[in-house]
């Protein structure tokens, strides 16, 4: 069979559910994998149960796949052992299975929390914002795991020549969840645009880019993502009036707004959120 197959891990989660209808294409099968049940599979979709901590299950999920969008894992702070097992060992299982199955392309869901301790003060004056590929400066065990999987992606690219794009996702929900997200929002439609840009055929590489909409209040550079062909169409500003009416104007000197990681920077380490 030569149908293009895209494996999406964590497909039952928030982003998986938002992206499913946006990733469906003529001539593409989207294989949805998760630990929990995938609801209501549509035509062009297939489902598979796989625990990322189980190498055999992950190997099976990767059979016959052309590309992987790896969303699966713990998406908030948790104990170090859980973060290590699910996010780091789970991603290692995935990358190993990718190589063994001959998959050539992987998109990793990293997070702003991989670099949560950078701040507005780190943005070069006159620049487009904080670069997408600054070295890790995690704010939690969770953020550390994202820095670790970026680094695993680099290892697997250099060893095996697979194309790896790590997305440092800001805040991807239907709408910006709070005033902080007026800067960090990634609209689901823009997430799909960036995924399509990362899936495009190109010389295999390894890159780490910000995954954020073209928000009026953003302080994150989009040049890395734009170099892939990402053309964001959304701006959280249309939600600003309502969010500010509810919460007040953000104080940009408060670490909640002056540092990338916002509230994560003083969340107790290892305590499930």
Q: Is 184 near ligand 15L (CB under 6 A)? A: yes
Contact between residue 209 and residue 225 where contact means Cβ atoms under 8 Å apart: yes
Residue among 13 and 132 whose Cβ is closer to ligand NAI: 13
Q: How far is the CB of 73 from ligand 15L (least distance, A)?
A: 9
* Catalytic site includes residue 142: yes
215 binds, among ligand NAI, ligand 15L, none (CB under 5 to 8 A by kind): none
Contacts of 133 (CB under 8 A, 6+ apart): 207, 208, 209, 224
| DSSP structural state of residue 268 | P
Torsion of CA 151, 172, 210, 227, to 10 degrees: 110
Q: Does residue 12 interact with ligand NAI by CB under 6 A?
A: yes
Q: Taking the chain, what is the end-to-end CA distance rounded to the nearest angstrom?
A: 43
Binding string to ligand 15L for residues 141 to 180, with x set by CB under 6 A, is what? ------------------------------x---------
Q: State the Rg of the chain over Cα.
A: 18
Place of tokens 């670069």: 131
Binding flag, residue 70, ligand 15L (CB under 6 A): no
Residue 126 — left, alpha, or beta (φ > 0 → left; ψ -120 to 50 → alpha)? left
| Catalytic site positions | 142
Residues near ligand 15L (CB under 6 A): 75-76, 111-113, 171, 181, 184, 262
Residues near ligand NAI (CB under 6 A): 10, 12-16, 34-36, 51-53, 71-75, 86, 90, 109, 111, 169, 171-172
């Amino acid at each position: 069979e030569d149908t293009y197959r895209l494996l999406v891990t964590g497909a039952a989660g928030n982003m998986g559910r938002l992206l499913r209808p946006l990733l469906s294409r003529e001539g593409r099968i989207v294989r949805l994998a998760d630990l929990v049940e995938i609801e209501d599979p549509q035509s062009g979709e297939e489902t598979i149960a796989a625990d990322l901590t189980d190498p055999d299950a992950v190997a099976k999920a990767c059979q016959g796949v052309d590309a992987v969008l790896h969303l699966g894992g713990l998406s908030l702070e948790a104990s170090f052992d859980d973060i290590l097992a699910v996010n780091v060992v789970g991603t290692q299982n995935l990358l190993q299975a990718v190589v063994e199955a001959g998959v050539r392309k992987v998109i990793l869901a990293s997070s702003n929390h991989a670099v949560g301790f950078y701040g507005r003060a780190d943005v070069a004056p006159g620049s487009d914002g904080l670069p997408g590929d600054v070295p890790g400066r995690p704010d939690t065990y969770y953020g550390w795991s994202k820095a670790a999987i970026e680094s695993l992606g680099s290892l697997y690219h250099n060893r095996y020549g697979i194309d790896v794009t790590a997305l440092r996702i800001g805040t991807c929900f239907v709408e910006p969840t709070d005033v902080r997200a007026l800067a960090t929002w990634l609209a689901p439609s823009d997430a799909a645009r960036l995924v399509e840009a990362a899936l495009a055929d190109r010389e295999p590489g390894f890159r780490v880019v910000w995954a954020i909409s073209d928000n009026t209040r953003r302080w994150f550079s989009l040049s890395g993502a734009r170099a892939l062909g990402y053309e964001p169409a959304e701006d959280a500003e249309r939600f600003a009036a309502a969010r500010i009416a509810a919460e007040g104007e953000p104080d940009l000197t408060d670490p909640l707004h002056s540092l990338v990681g916002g509230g994560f920077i003083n969340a107790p380490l290892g305590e499930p959120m």
